[in-house]
Amino acid sequence: METAVSNKGHRKIRVLVVDDSAVVRESLKLILESDPEIEVMDTAMDPFHAARKLESEVPDVITLDVEMPRMDGITFLHKIMSQHPIPVVMCSSLTREGCETTLRALEYGAVDIINKPRIGASRFLEDSRISIIDSIKAASNARVKKIPARRVAPQKKLTADAVVSPKPAERIRQTTGKVVVIGASTGGTEALRVYLEAMPLDCPPIAIVQHMPQNFTMAFANRLDTICSIEVKEAQDGDGLLKGRALIAPGNKHMVIRRSGVHYFVDIADGPLVCRHRPSVDVLFRSASQNAGRNAVGVLMTGMGDDGARGLLEMRNSGAYTIAQDENSCVVFGMPQEAIRLNAVEAILPLELIAPTVIDVCNL
């Protein structure tokens, strides 16, 4: 069999698209193959057809619908991850029920979530295309583990300047209050769970950007809130950053930190994609650098690309303590690796040591 190659001479990322809708299958195929580095090797209308195709050829990534006839996507995901793990990206609608089910899929081994393609404004379609392609590329680099059976042309990449204007560094007086800002992408849902479960009730305020589609962030925050001691919620414009509270940026919106006296708040803002993302970690980190300075702690977790790396460097230059998750505990090492390359990181830590280190740095 001839191996498909991209125009860069590398083997293309082969994707199997599994969805009961012919329209969605064709839409995903068109979107994915608009990138020269991706090839849709085949499509399947349900898990049974997909299983037969997997007998003859193994893809690099599978996109998997949640709701399908004969066998649902979660059940099929269980079979894949417990037998022959393959990176799986869940393809879901924006319904509340779909969000909650798809988040369970992340706990069962799926590496990312994408929204089903839908007709809309040209900006939405283009932003959606970028997000879907980036998710597939990230998944192709993900390190997936076997789990028990139970369980078109590149777009110009904007910087944080597009949302938060740069300004000269200024000394921000030290206060007794600290604020922690965290950025994560592929593999971040599980990493954030581990971190937040370790946080005590009197932990410093936490602001989080997790690359995730619109609506999923609320379901994700609600799920974490039920299992963590601290309060976890999807951020709303003007929310206060309080001890024992973690705010997660809503999907498709940027989040910035604002300071009033010794208190911190978040503002939720529209704006273009920054580092190909909205919300962007760079945007959050820059606002922390400008408004919290050395009172901040920055943490960059697992994820593909470089979102957050430059922002973490700005934080370090403003006196903040900065941490990157180490390679062995990352699903994808891209974002932390880029921050390390830029010398933006003071500590490189395995996931299980990040929370204790933050607690120690904040003198809790």
Which domains are seen in the chain, by residue range? 13-140 (3.40.50.2300), 168-361 (3.40.50.180)
More confident residue, 159 or 263: 263
pLDDT over 50 (residue 152):
no
**Annotated catalytic residue within 19, 112, 211, 329:** 211
Single out the residue of 273, 92, 296, 132 nearest to residue 204, CA to CA.
296
pLDDT over 70 (residue 162):
no
- Residue-level pLDDT at 364: 57
**Annotated catalytic residue within 46, 60, 134, 307:** 307
pLDDT bin (cut points 50, 70, 90) of residue 121 is very low
Amino acid in position 300: L
| Dihedral sign computed on CA atoms, order 26, 32, 33, 38 | negative
pTM assigned to the model: 0.84
Find residue 347's DSSP bridge partners: 323
Tell me the helices (H) and strands (E) count for the chain, helix number first: 11, 15
316, 308 contact by CB (below 8 A): no
Task: Examine the residue annotation and report whether 277 is marked as an active-site residue of this protein.
Answer: no
- Residue-level pLDDT at 7: 42
pLDDT over 60 (residue 300):
yes
DSSP designation for 11: B
Task: Examine the residue annotation and report whether 140 is marked as an active-site residue of this protein.
Answer: no
pLDDT over 70 (residue 219):
yes
Task: Examine the residue annotation and report whether 135 is marked as an active-site residue of this protein.
Answer: no
- Per-residue pLDDT tens digits for 179-211: 999 999 999 999 999 999 999 999 999 999 999
User: What would the mean pLDDT of 309-326 be, rounded to a whole number?
Assistant: 98
**Apex CA 54: angle with CA 15 and CA 304, to 5°?**
35
Helices (H), the chain: 22-32, 47-56, 73-83, 96-107, 122-140, 188-197, 216-227, 281-291, 309-317, 334-341, 351-361
pLDDT bin (cut points 50, 70, 90) of residue 215 is confident
309, 316 contact by CB (below 8 A): no
- Residue-level pLDDT at 95: 58
- Residue-level pLDDT at 110: 93
pLDDT bin (cut points 50, 70, 90) of residue 151 is very low
pLDDT bin (cut points 50, 70, 90) of residue 119 is low
